[in-house]
Structure 1
Amino acid sequence: MASKKEKPMHSLLAGATAGAVEAFVTYPTEFVKTRSQFGGQKKTPVAIIRETLKTKGVIGLYSGCMALVVGNATKAGVRFLSYDHFKHILADPQGKVSAPRSLLAGLGAGMMEAIFAVTPSETIKTKLIDDANRLNPQYRGLVHGTASIIKQEGILGVYRGLFPVMMRQGANSAVRFTTYTTLKQSVQGNARPGQSIPTSITFGIGAVAGLVTVYTTMPLDVIKTRMQSLEARQHYRNSFHCAYRIFTEEGILRFWTGTTPRLARLVLSGGIVFTIYEKVISVIGGRTEVAT
């Protein structure tokens, strides 16, 4: 019996393309989410948008955007490459992946993307957003900001918050891929042989996967943002200390701060990423038949 396996380079290309498009389209929601998670006075997403538009204009909503676009393209490429590899190893003889095995493959993919792409790009993005909110910003863009961070803090400066990022990305990918794969296999099981899944259905499945991911991993995202802020070293000894201070000083609900903008982003991004990935793979013929 034969099953389909994604070609490694095509998984990387399709994932990177999907990641870059998704990051640019949804970036304003990421900006608002990150701003809302910093310490200090709590502001609503609407208040943050109004304040940013008033002081910085529309371009202000894209502070740190290039760091995320580049990082997200790399992240998505690594994520799909890793997941497709782990998924093929764990698939049954019919090419199906059970929910527990998909969870394991997603966890592995999340760990890989956290180490090779997410932590550096999100640390830089977070610091750029934090800096842009100051009266006298010190960074003049992605290149200058990155060079300044490395000069001031060393290479470890762009790897702040590695542990919470690994935990968040591992959980993100595990939940997202398991939800997506389970729903996709269910839809394919009800379809006629050889019938492809409509784009609208793919988008919907990806959106649901994003929804589930947000609510299950939000606390890790808040801790990650705090650990990557400019003042992190002054306030937190490590991720556990950060979580303890948030819980004892601000309450448990603070762990879900920024849920609305992140929900908007991940629901939309889930639909965009999986739809574009499947389309690119289909166009470039990225799946081959392998004997099982």
Structure 2
Amino acid sequence: MEPWSRVIPTVHCDAEGGVSLTASALKNVRKALDVPERELKRWRRIFDANAKVVDGEKYLDPESFVNAIAPSGDLTKIGRAQFGILFRVADTSRRGLVSWDDFTVFETLLKRPDADYWIAFQYFDVDHDGYITYDEFKSVFTANVGPDALPFDFDCDWVKLYLGKKNGTHVLGYNEFTQLMKGLQEERVRQAFKYLDADQDGFIRPEEFKRIILEIAGHKLSQAVIERLPTLCTLSPGQKISYSEVIAFHNVIRQTDMVERIIREATAKSKDGRIDQSDFLNHSASSSRYSLFTPMEASIIFHFAGRGDGNRRLALIDFAQLLDPRWKAPHEEQEPQAALPKASFLQGFMHSTYNFVLGGMAGAFGATIVYPIDLVKTRMQNQRSTVVGQLLYKNSMDCARKIFRNEGFLGFYRGLGPQLIGVAPEKAIKLTVNDLIRGRATDPETGRIKLHWELIAGGMAGGCQVVFTNPLEIVKIRLQVQGEAAKVEGAVPKGAIHIIRQLGILGLYKGASACLLRDIPFSAIYFPAYWHLKKDLFNEGYNGKQLSFLETLAAAGVAGMPAAYLTTPADVVKTRLQVEARQGQTNYKGLRDAFVKIYKEEGFRALFKGGPARVLRSSPQFGFTLLGYETLKTYLPYPWDAKPPKVETALTSRPDEMSKIRARNALKILLDVHGDFGRRAASPGVQAVLSSPRLSSQRDK
């Protein structure tokens, strides 16, 4: 037995629509629904934050009650004032105030799994006998739609099919009521069309179609779609709208959530981020057991999304005006952006400076974490099998042990100073150039960039960084290998300044060709791999998903593995060219000479010396660098950044508490009766308390 079936008999409703529970009944309700103590404390915080003191006690008036229960940042067109209709449900004493006990009862009832339909049923069940009579249904309906609404025939066969008979009176139980409300809109559309089709030729005028939709679904459509509702007549000749088109449009609105899911999935899988009607129908058929949408419905979707041109391929952003009821054209946005610098050059310079600073900070963070691995990698790459005597290191682990034993813990950070000084401009320019080229080559509507532009952006970023990388690394490498030289030859270690003076300006760029050969393909592999891992593997951006720290770190780390290992030969050659050869070691004249001599003297495997250590160093270094870079951009955003347009709907927004969702859904069910449902009841001068004719006659007596 369901928990609610055990406690419903203890719920008492008064003749004016209030709900009351005895103390024991409320305890049973909480126990049946397993309301935890922390939930009660959260309700108490909400109540106290919004309550007002009346006669020494805290209460919620209609305004503060709405503040307490209305969803924050709701992406619908339901006005906050309309939530006031639920005040009638919570105000059990009918004194215009909701006490703490009343609020607890209301929140507890909202935890019911079918709270949305139950509240709607209670609203129609005026005398609260557990059934809705024909008179109750008619009186509540007419009281909320207003005298100017399209008429509804309550004696139609459709109503009679739902309302059975009990003791000679038409009644509707709760379960039957839920089904009636689900199909009510379609019957309203049918009756409204029949009423407006005066000559019964199967067509109505565009303005009549707009009137129908505004009454039953106006709160589900953006103003842009509402203004273009009459243009539906252009889909067929005659400048009129058929019943089939009205029903098709209504089906699209009823299935908006499914429409959005199909569009998001189809555009995500599309190569260019755009889809046409065929793509939409194909994806609809492949993602469901049966076809969800007809060709007419697809043409209607693309007609309104394409602003009358339903034949072109559309991006996700084009569908925003149909999917988001609060959508506004870009020039109509009310929230002004921070004042932008007027000169485009100044804009670009400031944004590049911002990226440069953040990139330098992130690069220093990543380099410090993995520097010991980089030291081991350099020592291994510089070790030559042709040197007279025994090899210093058997493998990377042996190298790490001997560094720690012979040079201490600080030996792992030999040369870190120049690394940190140079890593800022090195990583900064790489990240800045990559972001700059990607930004220029990205389609602003789809957010897509072609693969060849991804490769160009990464390659250019890698090439530009060599200006800083080569001097940095030649000094760093010579400092790193001094430790082993000091142990073998008894040499006195020299500082970075001595090395720079010894090399000179031109000497600082020794091995630059090998550095270019390493960094250009590395970045060309790394950046596209990183972005595709985020998007294709971790689904970043899909339905508004934002990656966690671990997901970002994993994407950045995995992308660095193939990029690091495949470019190891160029890194080996660069290291050999930049390290000062000791007595007995081979001298290299240049890039080609180094490749040939290493291959002849040490074999092909020598070109991949230090490859595992390079992977272990580069992969986490770029992982932490990119993680730091994106984290800094999140917490220190660029103040004048023009954010790309996004389609934000209920599917992508952060979910509210379930109680607020059910309160909102209860209003949606009532709004299916009429778009002004709740507004009339909440308006000044309109009697909010509804009563059945039977109760009214008893009061008159």
Is the shorter-chain TM-score for this pair beyond 0.5, marking a shared fold? yes
In structure 1, the partner of 2:621 is: 269
Post-superposition CA distance 1:159-212 (Å, at most 9, x none): 111111111111111111010112223257565433322221111100111111
Partner of 1:235, secondary structure, is coil
Aligned: 1:201 with 2:551 = yes
Asked if the contact 2:407/2:483 (under 8 Å) is kept, the reply is no
Aligned: 1:36 with 2:399 = no
After TM superposition, list the pairs within 5 Å mapping 1:44-59 onto structure 2. Answer: 44-59=395-410
Please identify, of 122-131 and 62-71, the stretch whose mean Cα deviation from structure 2 is larger: 62-71
Identity across matched positions, percent: 26
After TM superposition, list the pairs within 5 Å mapping 1:81-120 onto structure 2. Answer: 81-93=432-444, 94-115=446-467, 117-120=468-471
After TM superposition, list the pairs within 5 Å mapping 1:1-292 onto structure 2. Answer: 7-38=351-382, 39=384, 40=387, 41=391, 43-93=394-444, 94-115=446-467, 117-135=468-486, 136-141=490-495, 145=496, 147-187=497-537, 191-231=541-581, 235-286=587-638, 287-289=641-643
In the alignment, the residues of structure 1 paired with residue 514 and residue 368 of structure 2 have an alpha-carbon distance, to the nearest angstrom, of 24
Q: What runs of 5+ residues in structure 2 fail to find an aligned partner?
A: 1-316, 318-329, 331-347, 646-701
In the alignment, the residues of structure 1 paired with residue 542 and residue 612 of structure 2 have an alpha-carbon distance, to the nearest angstrom, of 38
Q: CA deviation at 1:280?
A: 0.3
In the alignment, the residues of structure 2 paired with residue 203 and residue 140 of structure 1 have an alpha-carbon distance, to the nearest angstrom, of 37
In the alignment, the residues of structure 1 paired with residue 636 and residue 404 of structure 2 have an alpha-carbon distance, to the nearest angstrom, of 41
In the alignment, the residues of structure 2 paired with residue 228 and residue 157 of structure 1 have an alpha-carbon distance, to the nearest angstrom, of 9
Q: CA deviation at 1:92?
A: 2.6
In the alignment, the residues of structure 1 paired with residue 552 and residue 426 of structure 2 have an alpha-carbon distance, to the nearest angstrom, of 21
Partner of 1:134, secondary structure, is helix
In the alignment, the residues of structure 2 paired with residue 169 and residue 81 of structure 1 have an alpha-carbon distance, to the nearest angstrom, of 15
Asked if the contact 1:175/1:213 (under 8 Å) is kept, the reply is yes
Query: Normalized against structure 2, the TM-score is what?
Result: 0.39
Asked if the contact 1:110/1:166 (under 8 Å) is kept, the reply is yes
- Letter of the structure 1 residue corresponding to residue 509 of structure 2: Y
Partner of 2:544, secondary structure, is coil
In the alignment, the residues of structure 1 paired with residue 616 and residue 588 of structure 2 have an alpha-carbon distance, to the nearest angstrom, of 29
Larger Rg, first or second structure (1 or 2): 2
CA pair 55-290 structure 1, distance change in 2 beyond 3 A: same
Asked if the contact 1:7/1:288 (under 8 Å) is kept, the reply is no
Q: CA deviation at 1:140?
A: 4.3
CA pair 204-22 structure 1, distance change in 2 beyond 3 A: same
Partner of 1:34, secondary structure, is helix
Partner of 1:47, secondary structure, is helix
Partner of 2:642, secondary structure, is strand
Asked if the contact 2:538/2:551 (under 8 Å) is kept, the reply is no
In the alignment, the residues of structure 2 paired with residue 176 and residue 195 of structure 1 have an alpha-carbon distance, to the nearest angstrom, of 23
In the alignment, the residues of structure 2 paired with residue 73 and residue 118 of structure 1 have an alpha-carbon distance, to the nearest angstrom, of 10
In the alignment, the residues of structure 2 paired with residue 128 and residue 157 of structure 1 have an alpha-carbon distance, to the nearest angstrom, of 15
In the alignment, the residues of structure 1 paired with residue 536 and residue 552 of structure 2 have an alpha-carbon distance, to the nearest angstrom, of 12
CA pair 49-190 structure 1, distance change in 2 beyond 3 A: closer
In the alignment, the residues of structure 2 paired with residue 223 and residue 231 of structure 1 have an alpha-carbon distance, to the nearest angstrom, of 13
Q: CA deviation at 1:290?
A: 6.0
Q: CA deviation at 1:73?
A: 2.1
Post-superposition CA distance 1:74-121 (Å, at most 9, x none): 211111111111111222343322322111100000010012x11011
Asked if the contact 2:535/2:541 (under 8 Å) is kept, the reply is no
Q: CA deviation at 1:137?
A: 4.1
- Letter of the structure 1 residue corresponding to residue 362 of structure 2: A
In the alignment, the residues of structure 1 paired with residue 643 and residue 538 of structure 2 have an alpha-carbon distance, to the nearest angstrom, of 17
In the alignment, the residues of structure 1 paired with residue 501 and residue 557 of structure 2 have an alpha-carbon distance, to the nearest angstrom, of 40
Higher relative contact order (CA 8 A, sep 6+): 1
- Letter of the structure 1 residue corresponding to residue 452 of structure 2: P
Partner of 1:275, secondary structure, is helix
In the alignment, the residues of structure 1 paired with residue 554 and residue 630 of structure 2 have an alpha-carbon distance, to the nearest angstrom, of 13
Greater per-residue helix proportion: 1
Counting matched residue pairs gives 284
Q: CA deviation at 1:274?
A: 1.3
Please identify, of 81-90 and 30-39, the stretch whose mean Cα deviation from structure 2 is larger: 81-90
In the alignment, the residues of structure 2 paired with residue 229 and residue 150 of structure 1 have an alpha-carbon distance, to the nearest angstrom, of 13
Q: CA deviation at 1:52?
A: 1.3
- Letter of the structure 2 residue corresponding to residue 281 of structure 1: K
Q: CA deviation at 1:138?
A: 4.1
Asked if the contact 1:29/1:261 (under 8 Å) is kept, the reply is yes
In the alignment, the residues of structure 2 paired with residue 14 and residue 150 of structure 1 have an alpha-carbon distance, to the nearest angstrom, of 28
Query: Normalized against structure 1, the TM-score is what?
Result: 0.90
CA pair 290-198 structure 1, distance change in 2 beyond 3 A: closer
Asked if the contact 1:10/1:284 (under 8 Å) is kept, the reply is no
